[in-house]
Each structure stands twice: as structure tokens, then as C-alpha cells.
Amino acid sequence: MSKKIVIIGGVAAGPKTACRAKRLLPDAEVTIIDQDSLISYGGCGIPYYVSGDVSDEKELRNTSFHMTRDESFFLNAKGVKVRANTRALAIDRQKKTVAVEDVNTGAKDNVPYDQLVIATGSRPNILPIPGAELDGVFTISDLHKAITIKERIAKGEVSKVVVIGGGAIGIEMAEAFADLWGLETTIIEFMPQLMPRLVDRPFALMLEHHLREHGVAVHTGEGASAIEADATGKACRVITPKRTLEADLVIMAAGVRARSELAAAAGLAVSQMGNIMVNDRLQTSDPNIYAAGDCIEVRNILTGKGTIAPMGSLANREGRIVGDNLAGIPTTYKGWIGSFVMKAFERCIGATGLSLETARAEGFNADAVFTAQSDRAHFFPTQAVIPLRLVFDKTTRRVLGAQGFGPANDAVLARIDAAAAIIANNGTIDDIGQLEMAYAPPFATALDALNAAGNVADNLASGRLRYVSVEDFLGWMDDFASHGDWLALDIRHPNEAEAFVNKYQEKWLSLPYIEIRRRYQELPKDKTMLLICDAGTRSYEIQTFLDGVGYRNTLVLGGGFNIMRRLGVNWWPAS
Amino acid sequence: MSKKIVIIGGVAAGPKTACRAKRLLPDAEVTIIDQDSLISYGGCGIPYYVSGDVSDEKELRNTSFHMTRDESFFLNAKGVKVRANTRALAIDRQKKTVAVEDVNTGAKDNVPYDQLVIATGSRPNILPIPGAELDGVFTISDLHKAITIKERIAKGEVSKVVVIGGGAIGIEMAEAFADLWGLETTIIEFMPQLMPRLVDRPFALMLEHHLREHGVAVHTGEGASAIEADATGKACRVITPKRTLEADLVIMAAGVRARSELAAAAGLAVSQMGNIMVNDRLQTSDPNIYAAGDCIEVRNILTGKGTIAPMGSLANREGRIVGDNLAGIPTTYKGWIGSFVMKAFERCIGATGLSLETARAEGFNADAVFTAQSDRAHFFPTQAVIPLRLVFDKTTRRVLGAQGFGPANDAVLARIDAAAAIIANNGTIDDIGQLEMAYAPPFATALDALNAAGNVADNLASGRLRYVSVEDFLGWMDDFASHGDWLALDIRHPNEAEAFVNKYQEKWLSLPYIEIRRRYQELPKDKTMLLICDAGTRSYEIQTFLDGVGYRNTLVLGGGFNIMRRLGVNWWPAS
């Protein structure tokens, strides 16, 4: 008799598991159960469907060869039976059955299994605030809601949108509303910055500035305290402690949590946070039951800690691993590191591993360098500066993370993926510096921007570079007067420095890079001189020179003004 | 007294060494000697200068902050003395001096050193054929020649160009001539394919087809036997064994060899091929003399063999390492793997590590998979297929190389750089499959194209996938009739298969993917069935299904017709 494999959940991890298992075990009877009518869609594509980049929701459910991944496709093409519109009610581990209910007819039956896979995913957090349940308040959790949102916009029912939550989904949705549809869009984020924990504050600020440039209002450090309805009972405004925002549409994108009720009710081990516990073969506490995707707790390779990692990319990797183990191939999952990339209008932001803030919170002896090199040869017409931050452990030189910000092409992706490969292997900043990245002027610089970041990290770790972080510098500039113990030494061209000298007077010295070896004796020795250039590289050179002539009172601003001009700071002189 | 560091060679490795050493040793007296008037230029940018993408040669010599890297810049900004127009004649290792000559005045003197660095680079090979020395025959070896070439074109003196050599420089120059200037351009390559040894034949063919689409004539397996002159003594035609090509301009891009005469004459160890031998600190056989850049022999990490590796990217890495060692920091060079990327019109080709052909020639038990997945979500408007080949050792599963071909954006770069990071660390195909690459629909697929290649390699290495290589398939198609023991099973949509069925009749079966589980019993068991789909993924699925029902007579065509349609094959049915 053929083995019965039952999979609960029909998006990402579930279908991947099913197809891999069926290929490895052609004789097995593989069944996917899902309570929804739509399955196996690209949920990460929802913002692009809403924006109109993807014209039809079917495209999110299609294969690359233009077939729709519905029940009949899975049966005919994959040999996998799909029971859509079928809710799993309970798992009987003794009898090895799943009690299910047809969501349309209410008919119930029991589905027997030899091996079971739980791929129930996550559900969006609903904030415990008044009005969260109103019509017009949506989470981005399934394709049906996305279709409704797009219909309302297309019908002209929406002119103002408030997005609650400044993570990736909230920002991608904000772009969708503001870019193609031209809706008045506001993001509110409870934490003090966008993309909290994912990126450090300077990256969040560069992103925020760019969103503002494209007309998206952003309020950080500001949560929604209530959503209010109009006379028809539809959501019409969002209240925060600081303001009232009108809204025809409210998106609640405040994170997700694992859907693990079925697993917990069946007595499977579930974490305090509600995540399904699995071993490195993604097996639950019942050896006949596996789990994959957003609902499981997986180990972060860097911290060693278990959390959910709700990403479609990981769900697919995990699905393959479960498929292998169902077929007796002992593939293990090494854990995750946290790679991501996101488009926001004309920019791309990406990261892998830990941010500096997170790394320090996790107890690493962490430091970071900030660079702002070109993505391709500086003489190549399409070149752009891509700010990169490399986070590392000063004791071990191990790379802990990388963050990048650049144009909406693949330049940041290339550096993030390369860094991810090194991080996954416990590589060091020296591995980053020496990594042999491909070079030609249209694609990179002879020493790639990522290599350069590795080399700067080496200079820092070896004690040759003294710097002020962008975070600290911003604080100093916010309150320039009260930090009277320093002054800026602007080594850019005098034309570039002029407006700053005019504004900040004796606190802003201009002495061009090219003249310092000749004129350094004009400089003060009794105050900290903060070296200002565009990328930080000239500043480092000048620091080493001044050190050599006894002026050890300098600090380098990593990434220099290439970073500052991307932040939209209010202390910038009017031009 | 301050240490005297003398560096012979003012492009790439030389300046990098000088600047790094001067930063680490502010008290040292650092001198660069170069026989040319122009130094520290981006030689890899020459094709883009000739094409016009870079309008002024000065841009190739400028820093990213718009200063020209000339003698005064090095002196004032870097504290490095440059003696341009100064030829190094001999090294006296006993006296620790370099005898030099001013190329303009003929004045000679001796430059004393405590430590010497040889960064004399490479010189282009001049083919031993009649006419190689004629006016109008150029190598791409320095900026002066590039300026002359561009001047001649701009004056309208050139309408036909022959490029001898189908490596990266030859192809980049061909694009420069054909694209902006619209010159009639022909590449001849002595070896049977473009970019020999760097990429496998299918990648060379995709590139060749694209060059032809853009009007560049390509003749492979065909060397130049002579260059002939017109009545004025200027080159006017190139003779090959098969044809005579008219040419107002001839580019000789037939590889380079190390400039090592100075080193050899000084008694330093030099290989049979003429490469300067160095240890892993890039020290020559004289501990006071280092060498870096195109002139040295460096170890390939994969083969363990020493060769020259004449790439600007490596020269920069090596320069930093020499700088470290001059300052007493014992940085070592782990060797190179061979990463490169190149633009050709609207395409990018890149590779890292060994090609399949090279890996086998080097004695590895090598095999390779060929995939043709999308670079980004298939529903995202800008998606494109990027053929990838992953080369690995079947015994150890170690990754040996990766090749990619795609649009002229950074999609291929991202995969090549990530693969390079894994190869440099002796990673396996499983590391490729599990690499946590960043994902969002505008940038990648949930399971990245590189991950997918790793997974296909796992299927092959684990004996689950049987395939025919593109190379073999092309041979079969060239002589379809005589390979009577196989037929094509085209599982694409019948509309796609139709023209092939009409042309190849009973040798080309059409049975759509979606119908095979129902209709497989119509298939023959007595002949090899070559499965045909677009990317190879459906074919693999069908192979596993047919295996399960006793039809073990299938082979998968890796990468499928996504590859074939990029090759410009002559057996394609007329549409």
C-alpha cells in the first residue's frame, strides 16, 4: 500500500514539500489540505499586484510557463491531490488522521496519514485597538483581501491610505498606493524607526527620506491608538497620540505570528511565543509529523536563538528539506541568517545577518563600518553610490551582518548575497576584503564596494581607524552648540564646504584634502576634529597622515556626506 | 632615516601598493617609477572610452571626487613621489638600487631602496605573423594607443575593424566599435569558441549569437595568418586560412604575458612562462623585493597551479597585501579562483572558478548542471531568464565553478559573486542550494536561480537526474538522422511543439506536460526519449514520474529550449 503523506497548508512551504516528496516518492499518495479556495500563490507579489505592476491576480498563481496552480494543475501535473476549501480541525496522532471540514458544505471527514506536514503559515497581528475590526481595515495576509483592496481603489473609493506598520510589507504597500495610484499615503510605525531590528537607524532614515521624496508621509515612534468609523460604519480615520489621520483605507501590517493552534491542540511541542518546535530535520516532537514555513521556530545561525522567520524564501527551502526527509534523505537545515531585500520606489534596501544594534543587544563585541563607494566604475555612466554597513565582532573578526542601500537595481542584492554566503560560513572581515568578486567597469569597481567595506573593517579592527558613527554624529549635529568640544574639518573642495562654513562659522573648517600635507600646521590640536569628506576614504587617509605628524585628535565620519545627503537632515545649509 | 620604498609600475598594483604602504608607514619615503607619462588609469575602462560611454580619457585617470591622478596629485594628496617618464633599466640587489633613465632626456641615475616592489604588469602578445608591426595595428595595452584609436575613428578614418582574439578585451572592443560608432566589425578567434577556457561552449555560443544579432561578424577556429598593407604602408586587410577581411583598423587582443625582464635580469626567480615567482606574502626570491599584479605567478585555489592572472581586480587586492607586508603586517594571499564579468551589448556574461571543460582537463571528476530560471519573480515585469551552469566534483560535491548569461544588469553578477564566496571557501553544491539569498519579487525568486542550480546539482549528484549535455545535444541535432536511437519528447504546449513536429515528424513527439500522467502509456519504451521543455524543470519532473512507472528511457535537456533559443541554431524550424 502506498504511503500517505498529508500536508496542511497550500502556500509556499506546503506545495514545495508536496512536489518534492512526490518526485522522490512517486508511489506516495500526497494530499494538500487548505481552507482557502486559492492556493500556491506568490504572496510576496501582493504589493505588485495592488500597484498594477502585475495586472491580474492569476499571474501570482501561475507557473513560469503560464499554467495556473490550481487543484487540477496539482493533480495532473504533479500527481498531488489538493483539497481546497477544506479546513483542518484536529490532528489525531494515535489514529494518524486529520479531521477536516468542507468550508462550503460543512461536511466533515477524517483524512488518514502515515506522515503529516504542518505548513499552516502565519497570521497577521491585529492590534488590540478600537476599530481594528472595521470595514476598510485590511491585513495583507491573503490574495482575497488584496483583490478587494485593488477593487476598491480601482472603483475610486480610496483617496487616503494609512499604513500601520513600517516593516517591509507596510512599505511595499505604501509604494503600491502612492506610486501608480497616486493615493495620499501615510505610514505610522510604533518603533522609533522604519524596519526596526532589520536595519540600523541610518538605513531607516535614508529609506524614510526617499519615501518622503515620493510623497509618502512617515511618522515613526507613533502607534495607532484607535481607528474610527464614519456614519456608514466604515473606517475613516486613524488616531495616534500625536495626530488624527483621515483614511479611506487602513492597512494593518504590524507583524505576524505562527498559526500553531492545530499543532498545540495535538500536543506537539510549541514555544512560548506559539511557534512549532522542530529539530534540524524539521521534525516536530512527533516523529511522524514535520512542519515548515512561517509556523515553525528556526534557529538563527548567528545568535543560536530560535524564532519564527516568516519569509517565502525560507519556506521554499524548508519545504524541500521536509520533502527530502519524508523520502528518507536525511537533509538538515542549518538555520537562517536573515537575508532580505526590498524595493521602495527608485531605491533598494537590503541586509543580511544582524544589524549593529541587534548584534550588540545579542551580546556580541560588535562594531561596524559605514562606506559609500560606487557600485560600478566611477567613470561608468550608470554608476551610483551604494552605502554599505558591515557589522562584525571585534574580538573574532567574524562578519555578523551587512546592510546596503542603492538604486532599485541588483547592485545591493549582489553585495548582500555575497556577504550572506560569507556569513553563513562564519567568515571574517578578511574573507570579505579578499573575496574575488567579478569585475568589469559596467558592473563593479576593481576593488568592489563590498571588498572595500571589508578592508575598512580591517582598518577599524586593527586599531588604525578612529571614527564617529553616523548615529552619534547626527546627535551631535542636532545639538551642535552643546557639543562644543569638537569642530568639523571639511576636506572636500572649498566650493562644497562653503555653505557649511558660512552656516557654522568657526566650528566648520575648510581645508582641502589636497592641501593638508602642506598646511596641516594651521589646524588646532586642542579640539576633536571630525573629518568630513564624501565617502570617508579621504578622511581615513588624512587621519593616518595627521596621526603621523602628531595630530591624533581626528575622527572619521564613515560614509561621509554621501550618507548625509541621503538622510534629509534639517541642519543642511540652504543652497 | 625613513625607509625607502620604491615601486616600479604606476598602474593598478603599483599605486595601490604605494598608497597602502604610505598610509601604514607615514614616515616612509615611497616612490613610484613609471616609463609612461600617464599613470594610475583604469585600463579596464579603455573600451568604454573608445565607445564614447566615457567621453574623456581624463575620466579614466580621475578619482571619484574628480581629481586627476597625476604626479602632483600623488605627491600632494598621498605623499607619494611619482617619477613618470622614467624607465627602470636594472635592479642592483647588492647595492639595493634601481638604475633608471629619463625617457625624454636620456639622463640616468640610481634610485636607492630599502624595499622594492615590482609591478611591471603585462604586455600584449604580438602574433608572429607578417604585418603585425604595421601602422593601423593596435594592441589594447595603454591609454596612448586608446587615444589614437579613438582619434582615428572620430576623424572618419575607420570604417572596418578586425579584432584578432575573442577574449574579453577583444569582445569589449568589438562592442565599442560596432555599437556607438557603427563600424563594420569582425572578431576572429583561433580557438574553436569565443572566450576559450573561461566559459564552456554553450555560453560562448550564446555570446556569439548575441554579437551577431548586433552586427558583429564572428569567425572562430580561424587565426590570422597575415596582415597586409595598402600602398601607403597602412594595414588594410587581415588574411585567415579561410578568408580575406578588409580592415582600416586591426586590434590584436591575443592575450598577454608578464613583463618580467627586469626581475629575471636581477636574478629573481621567474617561471618558465616568464612569470615572477612570489610566496603567499607576494615576496619574490629576494626578501627585500615584492611583486604584484599582472607580472606575478599566483596560485589558483581550485587547481593549486600557478599562472598569471592578469586582472585589474586582482592587482588591487595584491597591492594591498604587499602594502601590508611592507609595513610588517603579515597578510597572505590565498590565491585566485577566476571571477569575471563582461558586458556585450545588451548582455552580461560572467563566471567564477573553472569551466566544465577546464575542470575535467584538470583531473576533477567533474559534472555540471545547466539551468534557465528567471532572475526575478516570473510575474515581475522586468524578469528575464538567466542561464546558469554550476560545475562541481561528483565525488566530493565541491563546487568548482559557475557561469551565467543574462541581461546587461547586475543579475548575473549577483549569482557569480555569491558562487565565488562559496567556491573560495571550498563549499559544496549543498551550500549553494541552501544559501540564504535575499528575496523580494523585484530582485529574485523565492528560491533563487543559483539555489535552484544547487538543487539540480544535488539531484544529479544523487543519481536522481539523467541528462544530456547541451554540447552533446547540439551534436545530435547537427546530425539528427544518424542518431536514430533517440527521439524528442516535447512536453511544452502543443503550439510550441508544432513547428518541430512538422519538421522532424516521427522523431519529435508532442505530449504536453500536463497530460503525461494520463497518457504515458502511449510512449515508446524502446528508444531514448529526450525530454524537451523550456527550462529543464518540467522535464526533470516528468523523468521522475516516468521512472516510477517503468519508463526509464528518458534524458533531460538541462536548461531546455531557453538555452537553445539563445544559441541561434540552424536546425530551428522557420516560424
Give the model confidence (pLDDT) of B306-352 as tens digits: 999 999 999 999 999 999 999 999 999 999 999 999 999 999 999 99
Cα B236 from Cα B227, distance rounded (Å): 8
Highest mean pLDDT among A473-477, B141-145, B191-195 belongs to B191-195
Residue B236 is predicted with a pLDDT of 98
Chain B residues touching A433 at Cβ < 8 A: 320
CB contact under 8 A, A26 and B418: no
CA distance B85 to chain A (A): 23
How do residues B424-438 score in pLDDT, each as one tens digit? 999 999 999 999 999
Q: Which helix (H) or strand (E) holds B486?
A: strand B486-490
Q: How confident is the model at residue A180 (pLDDT cuts 50, 70, 90)?
A: confident
Cell numbers for B517: 500522467
Interchain CB distance below 8 Å, B443 and A343: yes
Residues 6+ apart with CB under 8 A from A127: A164, A223, A224, A252, A254
- pLDDT of amino acid B163: 98
Instruction: Note the CATH number of domain B4-122+257-326.
Output: 3.50.50.60
Which residue bears the cell 550608470? A382
Residue B555 to residue B311: CA distance in whole angstroms: 40
pLDDT at position B464 is 96
Fold of A340-461: FAD/NAD(P)-binding domain (3.50.50)
Q: What is the pLDDT of residue A141?
A: 85
**Given a cut of 90, is residue A541 above it in pLDDT?**
yes
% of chain A at pLDDT higher than 90: 96
Q: What span, in angstroms and rounded, lies between the C-alpha atoms of A171 and A181?
A: 15
- The pLDDT confidence band at residue B574, using thresholds 50, 70 and 90, is confident
Angle between helices A312-326 and A13-24 (to 10 degrees): 30
Answer yes or no: is pLDDT of A1 > 80. no
Option in B436, B540, B544 nearest A339 (CB): B436
Mutation target vs B (from A61, A69, A413; most B CBs, 10 A cutoff) = A413
Q: What is the pTM of this model?
A: 0.97
DSSP sequence for A82-141: EETTEEEEEEETTTTEEEEEETTT--EEEEE-SEEEE---EEE---SSTTTTSBTEEES-
The answer, yes or no, to whether residue A483 has pLDDT greater than 90, is no
Residues of B in contact with A338 (CB under 8 A): 436
Does residue B141 register a pLDDT over 80? yes
Same topology for domains A137-254 and A340-461, yes or no? yes
The domain locations on chain B are: 4-122+257-326, 137-254, 340-461, 467-564
Cβ contact A8:A289 at 8 Å: no
pLDDT tens digits, B238-278 = 999 999 999 999 999 999 999 999 999 999 999 999 999 99
- Kindly report, residue by residue over B348-386, the tens digit of the pLDDT: 999 999 999 999 999 999 999 999 999 999 999 999 999
- Mean pLDDT confidence for B100-117: 98
> pLDDT digits over B465-479, tens only?
999 999 999 999 988
Residue A111 gets the label, from left (phi > 0), alpha (psi -120 to 50) or beta, of beta
Q: Which residues of A touch B26 (CB under 8 A)?
A: 544-545, 547-549
Per-residue pLDDT at A146: 95
Give the chain B residue nearest A63 (alpha carbons).
Answer: B378
The answer to whether the CB atoms of B440 and A316 lie below 8 A apart is: no
Q: What is the mean pLDDT of chain B?
A: 96
Q: Is B348 a catalytic residue?
A: no
CA atoms within 13 A on the CB side of A232: 6
Task: Name the grid cell of A62.
Answer: 501561475
Q: Rounded to the nearest 5 degrees, what angle is found at the Cα of B177, between the Cα atoms of B174 and B181?
A: 155
A27–B548: do the CB atoms touch at under 8 Å? yes
pLDDT band at A481 (very low <50, low <70, confident <90, very high): low
List the single residue in B16, B341, B375 with the smallest CB-CB distance to A443.
B341
Contact (CB<8Å) B44/A441: yes
- Identify the residue among A332, A439, A515 best suited for mutation to test binding to B, counting B beta carbons within 10 A and taking the highest: A439
Q: Do residue B53 and residue A311 have CB atoms under 8 angstroms apart?
A: no
Say yes or no for a CB contact (<8 Å) between A439 and B44. yes
Mean pLDDT along residues A64-87: 95
| Chain B residue numbers touching A513 (CB-CB < 8 A) | 65, 77
Q: Answer yes or no: is pLDDT of A398 > 70.
A: yes
pLDDT at B180: 87
Mean pLDDT of chain A: 96
Residue whose C-alpha is closest to residue A16's, from A314, A328, A339, A297: A314
Q: Which of B311, B439, B513, B518 to mutate to test the interface with A (most CBs of A within 10 A)?
A: B439
Q: CATH homologous superfamily of domain A4-121+257-326?
A: FAD/NAD(P)-binding domain (3.50.50.60)
User: Does the structure show a pLDDT above 80 at B481?
Assistant: no
DSSP A58-75: HHHHB-TTS-B-SHHHII
Q: Give yes or no for a contact between B140 and B256, defined as CB atoms under 8 angstroms apart.
A: no
The DSSP-derived string for B247-275 is: -SEEEE---EEE--HHHHHTT--B-TTSP
Cα–Cα distance measured from residue B281 to residue B264, given in angstroms and rounded to the nearest whole number: 19
B467-564 is classed CATH 3.40.250.10: yes
- On chain A, the residues whose CB falls within 8 A of the CB of B380 are 45, 48, 53-54
Dist. CA A151–CA A171, nearest whole Å? 20
Give the lowest-confidence range in A192-201, A271-280, A476-485, B318-327: A476-485
**Among B221, B180, B171, B176, residue whose Cα is nearest residue B201:** B221
Q: Residues for chain A: how many in total?
A: 575
The verdict on a CB contact (< 8 Å) between A343 and B442 is yes
ipTM of this model? 0.97
H/E stretch holding B474: helix B470-478
In the prediction, which pLDDT does B113 show? Answer: 98
Which listed CATH number (3.40.228.10, 3.30.710.10, 2.60.40.10, 3.50.50.60) goes with A137-254?
3.50.50.60
pLDDT tens readout for residues B303-313: 999 999 999 99
Whether A478 shows a pLDDT value over 90: the answer reads no
